[in-house]
Every structure is written in structure tokens, then in C-alpha cells.
Amino acid sequence: GDLGKAVQQLKRESGKGLLMGGLKLPLALAELGLIDEYEFVVQPRLAGHGPTLFAGLSKRVDLRLVSRLEFGSGAVAMRYEPRR
């Protein structure tokens, strides 16, 4: 099927929105310009390995910080919107 059409249809339906994670689907949606908000949670530890977010994105997406929340553990959740 057509991912873009399917997501546009879901966005038109009532509800609070769609929340997803992972690597492949968010990359495909970012390429189509269908992500309205990004949320990243940064943990206070360095691993030295693991997946790279949005590796292979064909164009830069500039973001605007909407909110930030720091947890007692030191983790920080940041919400961004794409600048359009």
C-alpha cells in the first residue's frame, strides 16, 4: 500500500494522534514530511554502540524545541516540531 496515504487517513480520524518508535518507519515518515512532532529521551550514559536515528535521511529537517522535561534519573525528554 501507500504509506503516505495511509498515514494521512489516520491523521484525519478523531483521536489524540499516533505515537510510534523504532528506526525504519519514522525514517520513512520523516522523508514524506508526515511527522508533526518528535520526542527524544536522552539517557545519561554513553554506550558506544547502537542504532543511529534517522540514518539515511535524504534532507535535513530543522526542529524547534517545544518542551523539555528532566527526570530525577538525569534523563531528559525533549519535544520538537519541524520548522516548516
Q: What is the pLDDT along the chain (84 residues), one digit of tens a residue?
A: 699 999 888 888 888 777 888 888 889 999 999 999 999 999 999 888 888 888 889 999 999 999 999 999 999 999 999 998
The one-character DSSP state at 56 is T
Q: What is the pLDDT of residue 43?
A: 93
**CATH number of 68's domain:** 3.40.430.10
- Residue 4, φ and ψ in degrees, nearest 5: -60, -45
* 64 contact partners, CB below 8 Å, separation of at least 6: 80, 81, 82, 83
Give how many domains the chain has, as a whole number: 1
Q: What is the pLDDT of residue 22?
A: 82
Range of the domain at 41: 3-82
Q: How far apart are CA 30 and CA 82, in angstroms?
A: 10
